[in-house]
């Protein structure tokens, strides 16, 4: 939505939201140009691609915010009455206050309702939102919008999703200056910086004011099972460096809410990167096994330990825990009910906002939070704070506690088909990881300074948790394949050039580089097969060219080269003799194969 050709807000009308209104609070009497940009990508961002996207009605309405205030306060208070347990005496005291309030509300017409409005709001503040919260439990609420870099849409659509989500939050800050919004994925910032620089500058201003939190500790929400360790390290290094350079902060929290399981190498990598807290929600999606802890120390392969916390906010169905909160009391209260370490910790981190495609916090959520911040009697103490402040509170809370420890991977019993989906991509990805390693080693041997950052950053995008595991639409993989082919071509060109410059030509000799971290003995394919003996790890050596290993098949079913003579039974497909020609000895003992029966076809 644009007002006088400037971004004002954005509507969400997909399967994740039900077309809630947006509040254009900044409109003043006078002439304004109000315009709406609609994107109707059928099937991209919608789980129901066969349905048509049709705008049937758009209405501009005038709101009396006093009535909205009253309705929201009553809604929150009624919801508290519903969630409080039957044996809680606060439940029945609250009911008495609500009955008293409702007796004084005349639902007839606008004038009648508003006649005693100020008095009703005053009573609500005095009797219901009076700050008498259960201060022993504190809920740290932060706005969030989970935006998949690619999934049911391509990268260009993601860029527009990032714009709409950001515009929403910038508008929210003007209307609700108390709110904090968290976003941590670097590619989203780079998209905004390149295509919408004015919006990007507003993010920086909001970050300085404390409304926008740049946190997450990692470049993007990467897969951790198929991704190699060096790539995971780069995700952290480049993510933290961007946040330090652009925003002047060093994140201490890694936020990976939607990744499909977590490798055991992570605690060691997190610890060495200066990370203090790892947060996710996803392990609650396990198909069979209920994970025993929600706040614990995760012990790495080398003994490193990282504080780990699971967000236990139930989704609307109550089946899983979610990162797409609605800021309802049912979800906030349910987060505490689901939480398992109650005796050791009473601070909870609770995200809210439309996600899995962007959007973020809506007005309805923020009106509820505005009342909660006043202090709802019988409820938790509510604070608006981002991940970093929640980390500080949690660290302080568990400082003297003996938390449980978990040693091993955090395995997700869900999405397991992702280990075999798009196997070509997984193979291609691993090949490029190995090419990066070889290219960097050769560059170091030549004592050259080579900046691989740009190429690495292009490659790291492919490791997003809906790309590398293979859960995105076809259009995404068409783009990704081109990206990987370009990266591979650049690396191979650099490797060939660097390797050639390291060689000294000698007639009849062979230049060999062992890129492995162990001594190599074995055969290598050049024009012919050659045999190499004990080439030291990471060594570049010249060897007198060894004999060829010319394999040839004879009519007698004998394979022979300079070293071995092998006889094969053609009927049964088994080796019956191996003769070592250099040592003049039979390798195989006499063996009877009469017990084997193989099919003739």
Of 109-118, 189-198, 269-278, the one with minimum mean pLDDT is 109-118
Which three-class secondary structure state does DSSP give residue 540? Answer: strand
Rg (CA), the chain: 31
Residues 6 or more apart in contact with residue 9 via CB below 8 angstroms: 1, 22, 23, 24, 167, 168, 171
Tell me what pLDDT residue 13 has. 63
Indicate if the pLDDT at residue 595 is higher than 50.
Answer: no
Tell me what pLDDT residue 154 has. 92
Tell me what pLDDT residue 551 has. 45
- Give 173-194 pLDDT, tens digit per residue: 999 999 999 999 999 999 999 9
Tell me what pLDDT residue 597 has. 46
Tell me what pLDDT residue 546 has. 65
Residues 508-531 have a mean pLDDT of 82
Tell me what pLDDT residue 220 has. 98
pLDDT winner (highest mean) among 292-301, 529-538, 580-589: 292-301
Straight-line distance from the first to the last Cα atom of the chain, in angstroms, rounded to the nearest whole number: 70
Tell me what pLDDT residue 552 has. 44
More confident residue, 56 or 348: 348
Residues 6 or more apart in contact with residue 381 via CB below 8 angstroms: 133, 134, 135, 137, 138, 139, 375
Tell me what pLDDT residue 445 has. 87
Indicate if the pLDDT at residue 43 is higher than 70.
Answer: no
User: If pLDDT is split at 50, 70 and 90, which confidence band does 596 have?
Assistant: very low
181-183 and 134-144 strand pairing: parallel
Indicate if the pLDDT at residue 310 is higher than 60.
Answer: yes
Task: Report yes or no: 369 and 328 within 8 Å, Cβ to Cβ.
Answer: no
Residues 6 or more apart in contact with residue 532 via CB below 8 angstroms: 512, 520, 521, 522, 523, 524, 543, 546
Tell me what pLDDT residue 56 has. 75
- Give 111-126 pLDDT, tens digit per residue: 888 888 888 899 999 9
- Give 543-580 pLDDT, tens digit per residue: 777 665 544 444 568 888 889 999 888 777 788 899 99
Residues 435-448 have a mean pLDDT of 91
Rounded Cα–Cα distance for residues 336 and 312 (Å): 8
- Give 483-495 pLDDT, tens digit per residue: 999 999 999 999 9
Q: Which residue has the tokens 């890694």?
A: 254
What residues are paired with 585 via a beta bridge?
580
Residue 266, number of CB atoms within 10 A of its CB: 25
Distances (CA, A) of 130 to 125, 134, 182, 473: 6, 12, 29, 51
Q: What one-character-per-residue DSSP string does 114-137 give? A: HHTHHHHHHHHHHHTSSS--EEEE
* 413-419 LR contacts (CB < 8 Å, sep 24+): 413/285, 413/286, 413/287, 413/288, 413/289, 414/260, 414/285, 414/286, 414/287, 415/260, 415/261, 415/285, 415/469, 415/471, 418/260, 418/469, 418/470, 418/471, 419/225, 419/226, 419/469
Indicate if the pLDDT at residue 248 is higher than 80.
Answer: yes
Tell me what pLDDT residue 52 has. 63
What is the average pLDDT value for the chain, to the nearest integer?
89
Residues 470-492 have a mean pLDDT of 96
Indicate if the pLDDT at residue 375 is higher than 60.
Answer: yes
* Residue 413 phi, psi dihedral angles, 5° rounding: -85, 60
More confident residue, 541 or 129: 129
């Amino acid at each position: 939505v644009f007002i006088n050709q400037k971004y004002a807000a954005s509507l969400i009308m997909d399967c994740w939201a039900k077309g809630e209104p947006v509040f254009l609070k900044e409109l003043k009497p006078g002439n304004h140009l109000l315009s709406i940009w609609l994107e109707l990508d059928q099937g991209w961002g919608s789980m129901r691609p066969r349905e048509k996207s049709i705008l049937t009605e758009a209405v501009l309405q005038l709101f009396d915010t006093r009535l909205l205030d009253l309705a929201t306060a009553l809604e929150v208070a009624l919801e508290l009455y519903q969630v409080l347990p039957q044996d809680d005496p606060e439940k029945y005291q609250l009911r008495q206050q609500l009955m008293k309030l409702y007796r004084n509300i005349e639902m007839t017409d606008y004038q009648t309702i508003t006649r005693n409005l100020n008095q009703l709001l005053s009573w609500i503040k005095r009797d219901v939102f009076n700050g008498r919260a259960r201060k022993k439990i504190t809920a740290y609420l932060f706005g969030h919008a989970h935006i998949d870099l690619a999934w049911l849409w391509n990268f260009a659509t993601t860029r527009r999703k990032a714009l709409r989500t950001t515009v929403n939050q910038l508008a929210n800050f003007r209307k609700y200056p108390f709110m904090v919004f968290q976003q941590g994925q670097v590619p989203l910032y780079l998209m905004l910086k390149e295509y919408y620089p004015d919006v990007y500058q507003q993010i920086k201003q909001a970050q300085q004011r404390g409304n926008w939190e740049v946190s997450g500790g990692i470049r993007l929400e990467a897969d951790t099972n198929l991704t190699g360790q060096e790539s995971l390290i780069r995700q952290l290094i480049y993510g933290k460096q961007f946040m330090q350079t652009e925003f002047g902060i060093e994140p201490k929290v890694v936020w990976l809410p939607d990744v499909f399981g977590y490798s055991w190498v992570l605690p060691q990598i997190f610890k060495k990167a200066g990370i203090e807290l790892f947060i996710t929600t996803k392990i609650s999606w396990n198909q069979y096994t209920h994970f025993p802890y929600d706040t614990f120390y995760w012990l790495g392969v080398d003994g490193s330990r990282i504080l780990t916390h699971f967000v236990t906010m139930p989704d609307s169905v109550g089946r899983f825990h979610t990162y797409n909160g609605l800021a309802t009391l049912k979800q906030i209260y349910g987060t505490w009910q689901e939480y398992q370490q109650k005796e050791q910790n009473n601070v909870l981190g609770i995200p809210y906002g439309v996600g899995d495609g962007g959007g973020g916090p809506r007005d309805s959520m923020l009106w509820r939070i505005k009342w909660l911040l006043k202090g709802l009697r019988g409820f938790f103490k509510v604070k608006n704070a981002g991940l970093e402040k929640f980390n500080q509170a949690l660290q302080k809370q568990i400082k003297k506690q003996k938390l449980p420890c978990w040693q091993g991977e955090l395995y997700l019993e869900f999405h397991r088909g992702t280990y075999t989906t798009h196997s070509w991509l997984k193979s291609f990805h691993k090949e490029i990881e190995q090419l990066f390693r070889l290219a960097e080693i050769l560059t170091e041997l030549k004592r050259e300074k080579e900046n691989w950052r740009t190429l690495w950053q292009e490659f790291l995008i492919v490791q997003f948790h809906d790309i590398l595991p293979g859960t995105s639409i076809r259009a995404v993989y068409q783009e990704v394949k081109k990206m990987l082919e370009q990266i591979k071509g650049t690396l191979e060109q650099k490797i060939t050039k660097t390797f050639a410059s390291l060689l000294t030509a000698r007639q009849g000799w062979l230049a060999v580089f062992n890129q492995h971290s162990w001594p190599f003995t074995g055969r290598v394919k050049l024009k012919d097969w050659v045999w190499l003996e004990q080439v030291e790890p990471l060594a570049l050596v010249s060897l007198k060219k060894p004999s060829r290993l010319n394999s040839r098949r004879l009519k007698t079913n004998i394979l022979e080269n300079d070293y071995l003579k092998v006889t094969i039974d053609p009927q049964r497909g088994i080796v019956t003799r191996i003769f070592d020609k250099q040592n003049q000895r039979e390798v195989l003992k006499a063996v009877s194969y009469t017990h084997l029966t193989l099919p003739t076809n």
